[in-house]
Amino acid sequence: MKKGEEVYNVVVIGAGTAGLVTAAGTAGLGGRVALIERNLMGGDCLNFGCVPSKALISSARLIQQIRDSEKWGLNRQEPEFAFEKVFERMRARRAKIAPNDSQERFESLGVDVFRGEARFVSPHEVEINAPEGQYNTALPSMRLRARNFVIATGSRAVIPKIEGIEKIRYFTNETIFDELKEKPETMIVLGGGPIGCELGQALSRLGVRVTVIQRGDQLLPREDRDVSEFLERRLINEGVRVIKNADAHSVATSDKGKVALEWLDRQSGRLAERTLFADTLLVAIGRMPNVENLGLKSVGVDANERSVRVNEYLQTSQRHIYAVGDVIGQFLFTHMADAQARVVVRNIVVPFQFLRRKMDYSIVPWCTYADPEVAHVGLGEKEATQKNVPYDLFVVPLEDIDRAVVENEEAGFAKILTVKGSDKILGATIVAPHAGDLLHEFVLAMKAGVGLGTIASTIHAYPTFAELARKAGDKYNKTRLTPRAKTIFTWLYGRARR
């Protein structure tokens, strides 16, 4: 069949992670699938998110290690680097990964790729409008018909409604990696969530004097307070200024061409005494879904400015139209978009609702790639307390791990929550180098119903950071040695000596 003609099994709108996985999975199973993208293939993760940020963070981490070279028995030295070359390296790393998400690759998989903006014109038809000269399509507009649709349009940076914001130049994660051409001496980072903490620390290590403005009373508000405070101390010790309980009030360009930010102290409700000045501003206060111009209301899809609403099977109010990834909110992670897309691929193929799979959010890991990393799955203490879930807590300081000591990486810890009186894992938080990798032993254990006792009895190679999990299991086993049990063991040992 000719591209664009006849009926598709699936039309996917958006070529980020969720859309790409859906399109590739459908094509791999023999379905006829079209993929529509109005901007860059690969979406946020490849172009503005995970890939470029982690490439930048890796360079910044090495620079910091050179700065701390005395810890490794080397002579003290200052790292020599060019800010612009670090950004060039980041873009080169991104370019190496980009072919995996390219239009050419997906067309080779049997996916019909269209470049333009999609809008529903009926429940089973979308119109694609391509700006003149921007996309390689035969017509400025065309229509596609399908039995099923998948909305995977992702999200974008939230821009705060503060006075003067439209009159100044600022960056978001969608612009900073390609448009920041030279090193600013100073920067204000608006937002102390994962993006603000990651980029704030990385840019500080690259020689920028960074001030992080956080509206709430802690960084990383989804984490326990002790986790947040640990990371805050690390940032402050590295020279990052952190201001909490602060509402951005207004921004303007000063006479000297700097960004001038006034902020309200949320505790007093008054303007702070000092206006902050910086060479530039990075806005990192959150994300919002891309749902405008899709014509969802006209075809009966329930959506608002925060999300497209879906059921447990990821179906919208129109059962043949699914939505996945950032556009449905809740967990804005690449790995969540991937997982949701896999569920949708299956559900579209299955003909009956009772055979379809529900999306399971019971075990969702995430990681903030600051240094040290902060990785989390399941319940933390704060959430367990809010839900009135009784728990036992096992904390392993990283300084108890020999590999961490020899690597000069002993600042950090792991905290594991289990069901009260049991080794069943409720959640885990790790603050450590490689925490995102170390977390997955606990993720798998939770998924498989494996408890801390089993982890303790599993042989772990020495010396590795992975011993952290075994030591958590050892701490659990020590709680089983009650006074009564110890008395029995003492009697058995004594009997054996006779």
The pLDDT tens digits for 22-36 are 999 999 999 999 999
| Ramachandran sector of residue 393 (left: φ over 0; alpha: ψ -120 to 50; beta: rest) | beta
Task: Compute φ and ψ for 470, nearest 5 degrees.
Answer: -65, -40
pLDDT, the chain, mean: 94
Asked if residue 129 has pLDDT above 80, the reply is yes
Burial (Cβ within 10 Å: 0-12, 13-18, ≥19) of residue 175: middle
For residue range 166-202, list pLDDT tens digits in order: 999 999 999 999 999 999 999 999 999 999 999 999 9
Asked if residue 410 has pLDDT above 80, the reply is yes
Domains of the chain listed by start with CATH number: 7-41+102-156+288-355 (3.50.50.60), 165-287 (3.50.50.60), 372-483 (3.30.390.30)
pTM (predicted TM-score): 0.93
Q: How confident is the model at residue 430 (pLDDT cuts 50, 70, 90)?
A: very high
Taking CA atoms, 230 is separated from 33, 189, 223, 411, 465, in Å, by 48, 19, 11, 9, 19
Residue 131 has a pLDDT of 64
Q: For 216-230, give one letter per residue: b (16+ CB within 10 A) or e.
A: eebbbebbbbebbeb
Taking CA atoms, 383 is separated from 276, 286, 376, 419, in Å, by 35, 21, 12, 14
Give the three-class secondary structure for 21: helix
Give the integer Cα–Cα distance in Å for 314 and 119.
20
The percent of residues above 70 in pLDDT, for the chain, comes to 97
Asked if residue 134 has pLDDT above 70, the reply is no
Q: How confident is the model at residue 234 (pLDDT cuts 50, 70, 90)?
A: very high
